[in-house]
C-alpha cells in the first residue's frame, strides 16, 4: 500500500460553526474501507507556537493559567498563536515577551508538530530561546498568568508525572530533555 496516497474520499464539506479563532467542518466521506462515514474537523485560524526559554544556569520558565475548556489550572511553556501567513518565529518572540517579559538572543527551531491530528489540522512550531534578558511582561486581557522560573530538569519531571499535560509543552520539554541529555 502506498502510504502517501489519500485513501479517503470527501463527498461534501460544510462549516457548522465559526468564530475569530476556529471553524468546525462536517464532512461526509467514504472511508478507506469503502464505507460511508462522517468526519468533523476543527481548523484553527492560527498556527501554534511554543517556546522553551533556557537561561545560563539551566533554568526554564513556565506560565500558569486557568484553562477554561479543561476547567483546571495548567502549567505550560510560553505559547500562543501565530496568524496564518506570518512567520511563526516572530510570533514565538512576541509570545515569550508578552507572557514572561523575556527576550532572547538565540532562537532554535526544534520541531513542527500536529497537536491532535485525529480531530484538527492545527500545526505547531517549537523553539528554544537562549541568552535571555528580563523585562516586563504584558499578557493579553484574557490571560491571568503566573510565571515560574525552575530548573529545566524539574519541568521535565513535571511532564513525566503528568503535572504538565499541554501537548506543546510535553512535546517541547521532552525534545529539549533528549537534546540536553536530561
**What pLDDT, in 10s, does the model give residues 26-41?**
999 999 999 999 999 9
Q: Residue 165 domain-assigned?
A: yes
Q: Residue 3 domain-assigned?
A: no
Q: Residue 1 domain-assigned?
A: no
The yes-or-no verdict on residue 1 having pLDDT over 60 is no
Q: Under DSSP, is residue 103 helix (H, G, I), strand (E, B) or coil? A: strand
Question: Are residues 110 and 97 located together in one domain of the fold?
Answer: yes
Domain count, the chain: 2
Question: Are residues 119 and 153 located together in one domain of the fold?
Answer: yes
Question: Are residues 120 and 36 located together in one domain of the fold?
Answer: no
The mean predicted confidence, pLDDT, of the chain is 94
Burial (CB < 10 A; 0-12, 13-18, 19+), residue 11, is exposed
Is the whole model's pTM more than 0.75, yes or no? yes
What pLDDT score was predicted for residue 139? 65
Q: Residue 4 domain-assigned?
A: no
Q: Residue 74 domain-assigned?
A: yes
Amino acid at each position: 500500500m502506498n502510504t502517501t496516497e489519500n485513501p479517503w474520499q470527501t463527498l461534501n464539506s460544510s462549516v457548522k460553526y465559526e468564530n475569530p479563532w476556529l471553524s468546525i467542518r462536517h464532512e461526509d466521506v467514504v472511508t478507506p474501507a469503502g464505507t460511508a462515514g462522517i468526519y468533523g474537523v476543527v481548523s484553527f485560524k492560527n498556527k501554534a507556537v511554543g517556546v522553551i526559554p533556557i537561561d545560563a544556569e539551566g533554568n526554564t520558565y513556565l506560565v500558569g493559567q486557568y484553562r477554561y475548556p479543561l476547567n483546571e489550572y495548567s502549567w505550560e511553556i510560553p505559547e500562543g498563536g501565530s496568524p496564518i501567513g506570518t512567520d511563526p518565529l516572530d510570533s514565538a518572540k512576541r509570545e515569550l515577551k508578552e507572557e514572561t517579559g523575556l527576550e532572547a538572543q538565540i532562537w532554535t527551531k526544534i520541531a513542527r508538530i500536529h497537536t491532535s491530528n485525529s480531530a484538527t489540522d492545527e500545526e505547531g512550531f517549537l523553539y528554544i530561546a537562549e541568552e535571555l534578558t528580563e523585562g516586563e511582561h504584558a499578557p493579553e486581557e484574557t490571560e491571568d498568568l503566573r510565571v515560574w522560573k525552575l530548573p529545566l530538569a524539574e519541568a521535565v519531571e513535571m511532564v513525566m508525572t503528568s503535572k504538565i499535560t499541554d501537548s506543546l509543552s510535553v512535546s517541547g520539554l521532552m525534545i529539549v530533555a533528549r537534546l540536553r541529555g536530561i
